[in-house]
Amino acid sequence: MSNGLNIPANGALDLVSLGALVHRLDPGIIPFRKATQCQIHVSGGEFNVAANLADCFRMNTGIATAMSDYPIGELIAERVRAMGVKPFYKHFKHNGVNGPNMATVYSDQGHGVRPPVVFYNRSNEAAAQLKPGDFNWTEIFSGGVRWFHSGGIFAALSETTGELIIDGMKAAKKSGAIVSFDLNFREKLWNIWGGQKKAVDVISRIVENVDVLVGNEEDLQKGLGIAGPEVAAKSALDPKTFFEMIEKVVKKHPHVKAVATTLREVHSTNRHMWGAVAWVNGKTYVSPTCELDIHDRVGGGDGYAAGFFYGLLAGESPEEAVKLGWAHGALLTTFPGDTTMATVEQVRAFAKGGSARIQR
Amino acid sequence: MALTIRSASECEFDLLALGECMVRLSPPGHQRIELTPVFEAYAGGGEYNVAYALARYGMRTGWISRLVDNPLGHFIRNHAKGSGMDLSEVVWVPSDGVGRKDRIGLNFTEVGIGVRSSVSMYDRGHTAIAHIKPGEVDWKRIFNVRKARWFHTGGIFTALSDSCAQVALESVKAAHAAGAIVSYDLNFRSKLWSSKQAIEVTKALIPHIDILIGNEEDFQKVLGFKVEGTDEHLKELPVDGYKKMVLQVVKAYPNIRAVGTTLREVVSGLVNNWSAIVYLEGTFYQSRRYENLEIEDRVGGGDGFCSGFIYGLTHGLSPKECVEMGAAHGALAQSTRGDTSMVTMDEVNHVMNGGTARIKR
């Protein structure tokens, strides 16, 4: 195959993700300081990829994560089932007072000139306690696994989560799976315990095991310590500087076979120009661009990753995989919440250049 | 435990249920159907509700039905998946884009208050499940190869169409012959068929059934038994008359091992006296009585009893505990809006053991 990836053809699980499950409180366009009610979404950068692949792309996926046994945990577990993701939980007993908790993400949708605001309550988070040895990877991968995914949000949670990612990646590699990592650099999370230096150290060691890397320019700079572009890009949608940086990435990590990211030009909270690119095995691929009317931007990047992985898992060309990821990410921003409500038929139609004409 | 259930290790499923699930549209609060600007959407159906609850409590449960491959069919699928139930034996049929051929059934349910009773209006004609044909589901493979410890279906499914009645018969036959416990909720629905039709069809099913669930009215209308001393509005229920009737039932059908029912006295739309009674292998067991039980939504209370009772039986509880669990689960199921259970097994245990509703902090 031209993509340089040797993806196993079969496996009981098409993808297993490792990461934290969170619940996101969403007051819509009202900022939290004036909010009177919220919707509850179930999310997690790494989980979203598994959920999108299961629900929209009808793949068999799993999530390895922490589950605290209290009503918020039950709410989250129910949504995980509803998305069709097989859970592998390390259970924690909640003491009824202060944890271990399922993290809370506070995230409004912003509007127009007002950007969305995100802040966390991740104190005493169950997932931060996860460490190497908590999951029996041999058992989880026993029926065969085609792809293993994790990300930089989970890596940033504590001193042990990064090590667990490496532990899982090594086991997945041994089982023949493709390994991917979404850099998703979150400065606030690293600042709690490690800071920038620790971040680069941990993420670089993780990336030693990675075949497919997802991340934008900022992620590559801050998460991997790659020097920024020498020439400023003409626009946020110009992939030139990104491709330039990728050359530095693969020079440092020559085993990386693919690097992918989304390109967003934010005109307002509700209006973005949207594109996506990938570098696969020495060749570059660029999606079409489109103007997006955004309902809820959270999850668009995970939506791209899921569609891109789906394309590769389904044996599509890298070019088609980029298009599917781009189309799915675009559709995802039209739904409330962080995970997909699209169908694979909609994604394929949009990737082909479908319109938003009403279907009757 | 008097009832012997085949071991879990030889079966893929702890329970399989067969029936329809509808999309239910309800006005918020106690609004009227004809005036509301907003409907809330729920999913439910008698047999489905049993599978849904038991899947939530960790039993390996599957549900068998026929669904249209359109967004309403997917709505039901998404609801079902949240419980953890298996849907691999669901028959999916294409959508014709109009609904002339196969539809997903709807019901509009208004929750009454005070003297105004709840109203349920069906829009369930031409549904995919009503068009199921004998032979379409491979019952032999399901019950002899995949295997189930328990099979549950009921009178709502049987009443949907002539072919549903035939499929009900072939399913209970196959389940029973393969060694599963077969339970059947009589659930008479006068809008779906007449008592005469119900009696004719249901009598043929009874030889393949181990456990019958039904309230006083069901036994009258579906099997033609008479409960002595009931008034027509079912405001008060003489338990002795009910017991006599059950004894007639098991005399007429000695293969019936257990009969369970809820006893509901309607004080007002949202306040009922609630309890349950069970006959099991020759003895009656009665639950505690929930006096003036405040109800949020009565739909699904009977299914809540049925699933709690089955949970008790499959988990080796004593007959008395089984009836208490059924009554407690039925009471709790009526504390939430929607047909399906939203409570936890901890809450069921708390209530069945006489726990109070004091706030838990």
Residues of A in contact with B344 (CB under 8 A): 74
- Chain A positions in Cβ-Cβ contact with residue B79 (cut-off 8 Å): 82
Chain-centroid distance, C-alpha A96:
31
Q: Which of B57, B72, B75, B81 to mutate to test the interface with A (most CBs of A within 10 A)?
A: B81
Which pLDDT score is estimated for B117? 84
The reply to whether omega before A100 is within 30° of 0 (cis) is yes
Q: Kindly provide the residue ranges of all beta strands, DSSP E only, lying in chain B, ordered along the sequence.
A: 15-18, 22-26, 40-44, 61-64, 66-68, 91-93, 106-110, 119-123, 150-154, 181-185, 211-213, 258-268, 271-280, 283-286, 290-294
Range ranked top by mean pLDDT from A107-121, B53-67, B264-278: B53-67
Which pLDDT band, with edges at 50, 70 and 90, does B241 fall under?
confident
Residue B347 CA to residue B349 CA, distance in Å, equals 5
The answer to whether residue B99 is domain-embedded is yes
DSSP assignment, residue B113? B
**Residue B108: domain span:** 10-131
Query: HSE on the CB side for B119, CA within 13 Å?
Result: 11
pLDDT digits (tens, 9 = 90+) for B99-157: 999 999 999 999 988 888 889 999 999 999 999 999 999 999 999 999 999 999 999 99
pTM assigned to the model: 0.84
DSSP β-bridge partners for residue A17: A63, A149
- With respect to residue A324, please indicate whether it lies within any of the assigned structural domains: yes
Whether B46 is in a domain gets the answer yes
Instruction: State the average pLDDT over residues B262-286.
Output: 91
Residues of the domain holding A290? 15-351
Closest B-chain CA to A86: B84
Asked if the structure places residue B62 within a domain, the reply is yes
- CATH number for the domain that contains residue B70: 3.40.1190.20
The answer to whether B81 contacts A79, with C-beta atoms less than 8 Å apart, is no
Report CB contact under 8 Å: B81, A74.
Answer: no
Mean pLDDT for the stretch of residues B247-269: 92
Count other Cβ atoms within 10 Å, centred on residue B94: 11
Helix/strand/coil (H/E/C) assignment for every residue in A225-266: CCCCCCCCCCCCCCCHHHHHHHHHHHHHCCCCCEEEEEEEEE
Contact of A82 with chain B, judged by CB distance below 8 Å, is answered with yes
Closest-CA residue in chain B for A70?
B344
| Count of Cβ atoms closer than 10 Å to residue A340 Cβ | 28
B21 domain-assigned: yes
Percentage of chain B beyond pLDDT 70 is 97
Please check whether residue A82 lies inside any domain of the structure. Answer: yes
Share of chain B above pLDDT 90, in %: 84
Q: What local confidence, expressed as pLDDT, does residue A359 receive?
A: 65
B163 found inside a domain: no
Q: What is the mean pLDDT of residues B170-193?
A: 97
Residue B249 lies in a domain: no
Yes or no, beta carbons of A84 and B84 under 8 Å apart: no
Q: How far is A7 from chain B (nearest CA, A)?
A: 27
Q: How many domains does chain A have?
A: 1
Number of domains in chain B: 1
pLDDT at B1: 45
**Yes or no, beta carbons of B82 and A74 under 8 Å apart:** no
Kindly indicate the confidence band of residue B236, based on its pLDDT and cuts at 50, 70 and 90.
Answer: low
* A356 is a domain residue: no
Q: What is the pLDDT of chain A when averaged over all its residues?
A: 94
The rounded percent of chain A whose pLDDT value lies above 90 is 88
Task: Tell me, yes or no, if A328 comes closer than 8 A to chain B by beta carbon.
Answer: no
Which residues in chain A touch residue B81, judged by CB atoms under 8 angstroms apart?
81-84
- Confidence at residue B193, expressed as pLDDT on a 0 to 100 scale: 97
Pairing of strands A283-286, A271-280: antiparallel
Cα–Cα separations (whole angstroms), residue B235 to B120, B229, B232, B347: 20, 11, 8, 29
Whether A81 and B78 lie within 8 Å, measured CB to CB: no
pLDDT of residue B239: 86
For residue A98, what is the domain's CATH number?
3.40.1190.20
Flag residues of chain A having pLDDT under 70. Answer: 1-2, 231, 359
**Do the interacting molecules here have an ipTM over 0.85?**
no
pLDDT at residue B217, rounded to an integer: 87
Q: Please tell me the predicted confidence (pLDDT) of residue B234.
A: 58
The verdict on residue B282 lying in a domain is: no
Choose from A78, A86, A89 for mutation: most chain B CBs within 10 A. A78
Question: Does residue B159 sit within a domain?
Answer: no
A78 touches chain B (CB under 8 A): yes
